[in-house]
A and B are shown apart, each in its own frame.
Chain A
Amino acid sequence: MAHETPRPGRLIAVEGSRGADVAREAETLVERLRARGIAAAISRWDASGLFADLLLADANDVVVTPRMLALLYAADLQFRLRWEIQPALAAGGIVVAAPYVHTAVGVGVGLTLPEAWLRNVLGFAPSPDAMRLARERKPRRGWRPKGSRGFGEFCVTVLAGSPSGCKPRAARARTMGWLSESGALTAVRRRALIESLAGYEQPAGSAAPVARADSQRT
């Protein structure tokens, strides 16, 4: 039966310090939703390819700072909002943004950037309807220099050559501390989140409106 009023889209943010943990949590969440007949798309970090392109640059030119990396994250998030998140929400779909704003602020704080500046620069992003913190695995380890894994990992990869260096363990510890402190009040449990999305089940045989968002990634 057709809906009389358009169903509002729902934006779920999955945040965490490690790229692999965030990706795993987002995939688990989407799988569980699908098992209930609810379609959801994932919007991933670096959909714009900006970070991947940066890794292709001549190593001598890759002199970056935490502020530059935060600005690049903001540019990438703009791309994701425009091409993935907002079209899917406008179609009444569910989007899992993994990661979203909190991760960027947390990683920035971990790299000693001022929180207020990070929030202001990322202020264009709409608040998510719900936020979930990914379970942090290997919490005593620092970020590994694997640039394609996630934002924190990318940062330590490219900051490693800077004159002041980068301490991956201390930076990740600060990020985790900030994420758990700031997310403690707003983060929700997975089961509660899935239950809150009751009513978004797809009628049998219908195409999921948000599925297109995933395929628009470049």
Chain B
Amino acid sequence: MASAPHDPSDLSAVIRNRDSRRGRLIAFEGPEGSGKTTQLRLLKTWLTSEGHDVVTSRWASSRLVKPLIKARKRLRVLSAEEYSLLHAVDFRHRLDTVILPALWAGKTVIADRYLFTALARDAARGLEFDWLLHVYAPLVWPDVVVYFALDPLDSSRRVAATRAPRFYESGQDVTGIEDPLTSYRQFIHRVIAEYDQLAVIFEFVKVDADQLVYRQHQQVRQIVQGAARRPWAKFSAEALTEWLTRHPDLAG
């Protein structure tokens, strides 16, 4: 096995050299009911047909952390900070075990929600944005963030048509409103307001989620085809350096 280059400048060279061969990271964001999962499936099918190797990663799905979160959500005992920290652990576990290994191997990764979900929801819960950024640091920037924009009323209507929103999803922990749907209507306003600010900071590409599904898919294809890579060395160097330090076999 090759020895690990411990000098950070060596790792910088490794990261730079990998950039042209790595896979692309595409993040899908948007409120509940905006059709992200449907669009993810369509994009995955299309990319696969084009010869890409595609990996998907869903929010709060890490095999290690999901059971911890699920048990505590069921008991409704999480504070806003605990909720945020546990999702950050889940995210970092998926980043380290699913997302970065796939990107390194040249696969395309589509994330059904990325850390912006946490930034929007947790800021809507009243947590400080700066603290949230620290919790999720160091960041791995997606090459493109596709944001499925939907009006708060439409989001509420679409969610209500299929099911009752869950306790934390509807923000009942912070609104204190007993009816899940009433709480959701109030909470989603705040979440979308946070998303709108994030869209500017992190350069989201917006898709109108009110359009027909096929029209949205056509737009997503165009966005993905036209998206330039965000160079790892410039945007995600700290996270990549840390990850490679723990995987000396890859850095060699």
Contact = CB atoms under 8 A, between A and B. Distances in A.
Interface stretch (A6-14, A30-38, A115-123, A203-211): A115-123
A123 B127 CA distance: 12
B88 interface: yes
A62 B92 contact: no
Name the interface size band of chain A.
Answer: 20 to 34
Interface stretch (A69-77, A97-105, A137-145): A69-77
Interface string B226-252: 000000000000000010011111000
B20 interface: no
Interface string A34-63: 000000000000001010011001100111
A164 B246 contact: yes
Interface stretch (B131-139, B154-162, B205-213): B131-139
B97 to A, nearest CB: 5
A164 B86 CA distance: 24
A185 interface: no
A54 B86 CA distance: 12
A199 interface: no
Contacts of A79: 79, 82
B81 interface: yes
Given A63-B97, A64-B64, A75-B85, A82 B92 contact: no
Interface centre among B64, B89, B137 (most CB of A within 10 A): B89
A91 B63 CA distance: 40
A90 to B, nearest CB: 16
Name the interface size band of chain B.
Answer: 20 to 34
Given A120-B131, A121-B134, A164-B248, A68 B85 contact: no
Interface string B45-73: 00000000000000000011001100100
B88 A71 contact: yes
A71 B135 contact: yes
A54 B79 CA distance: 20
A190 interface: no
Contacts of A68: 89, 92-93, 96
B247 A163 contact: yes
A199 B16 CA distance: 63
A65 interface: yes
State the main secondary structure of chain B at its contact with A.
Answer: helix
Contacts of B134: 117, 120-121, 123
Interface in B59-118: 63-64, 67-68, 71, 79, 81-82, 85-86, 88-89, 92-93, 96-97
B64 A62 contact: yes
Contact of B249 (A58, A124, A163): A163
Contacts of A58: 63
Interface string B1-44: 00010000000000000000000000000000000000000000
Interface centre among A61, A62, A71, A79 (most CB of B within 10 A): A71
A148 interface: no
A74 B64 contact: no
A164 B247 contact: yes
A63 B97 CA distance: 8
A67 B65 CA distance: 14
A162 interface: yes
A72 B67 CA distance: 14
A167 to B, nearest CB: 13
A63 B93 contact: yes
A121 B135 contact: yes
A164 B89 contact: no
A82 to B, nearest CB: 6
A163 B64 CA distance: 17
A-B complex: 3 closest residue pairs judged by Cβ atoms: A75-B85, A120-B134, A164-B246
Given A68-B92, A120-B134, A121-B134, 9 more contacts: A57-B64, A57-B67, A63-B96, A68-B93, A72-B85, A78-B79, A78-B82, A121-B131, A163-B246
Interface of A: 48, 50, 53-54, 57-58, 61-65, 67-68, 71-72, 74-75, 78-79, 82, 117, 120-121, 123-124, 162-164
